[in-house]
Structure 1
Amino acid sequence: MKLVNVTNSYKQLVNKQLENTDAYFVKVYSAGNTTVVYTEAAQHAELLIVNKKRAVRKTEINEILTYVLKRIPKEKYDRNQISIIELKDVIEISIPMTSSLVES
């Protein structure tokens, strides 16, 4: 699976996320019919995985989560604290941070 950064195509979504949440960083990726919204805040990171054509596969969830976790320093999160909520065509993954992602 290849994730393509399509953030520039979702300017309104990104602006709304930045205005209405505690997020300071938002990226949108596409993998065919699957869209991934990654948001980062001081104490957590969130992933929203959406596919309106079919259910999101477990392998997709694992690949996307692995892709994101490679970009977060290992000492900043505890893998056992990650929560995954699975609905029909939407997956939400919450990654609580053990220390702030933002350097003071």
Structure 2
Amino acid sequence: MKLVNVTNSYKELVNKQLENTDAYFVKVYSVGNTTVVYTEATQHAEILIINKKRAIRKTEINEVLTYFLTRIPKEKYDREKISIIELKDVTEISIPLNHTYIEK
């Protein structure tokens, strides 16, 4: 699975996320009909996987999660605290970030 950065095509979404949430970093990726929105704030990271044409597969969820976890320092999160909410065409992954690692 290759995630393609399409953030520039979603300027309005990115701006609204930055203005209306505690996120300081937003990126949008595409994998065919699947869209992945990654947001990061000081206390958590969120991954939203969307596919309106079909159900999201477990393998896709695992690959997307692995992709982003390799980019977050291991001491910044606890894998046991990651929560995944799966709906019909949307999956949300919430990664709480350790307070001790948060830079001030």
TM norm structure 2: 0.96
* Structure 2 residue 51 is the aligned partner of structure 1 residue 55: no
Distance 1:29 1:78, change over 3 A: same
Secondary structure of 1:80's match? Answer: helix
- Structure 1 stretches (4+) deviating beyond 2 angstroms? 99-104
Secondary structure of 2:48's match? Answer: strand
The Cα offsets for residues 23-52 of structure 1, whole Å up to 9 and x where unpaired, read as 000000000000000000000000000000
Q: How does 1:75-94 map to 2 (within 5 A)?
A: 75-94=75-94
- Find the aligned partners of 1:102 and 1:76 in 2 and give their Cα distance: 8
Unaligned runs of 5+ in 2: none
Q: How does 1:1-104 map to 2 (within 5 A)?
A: 1-99=1-99, 103-104=103-104
Identical-pair percentage: 82
Matched residue count = 104
Unaligned runs of 5+ in 1: none
Secondary structure of 1:46's match? Answer: strand
Give the AA of the match of 2:77: Y
- Find the aligned partners of 1:18 and 1:4 in 2 and give their Cα distance: 21
TM norm structure 1: 0.96
Distance 1:4 1:77, change over 3 A: same
- Find the aligned partners of 1:27 and 1:78 in 2 and give their Cα distance: 22
- Find the aligned partners of 2:101 and 2:19 in 1 and give their Cα distance: 19
RMSD (CA atoms) = 1.1
Secondary structure of 1:61's match? Answer: helix
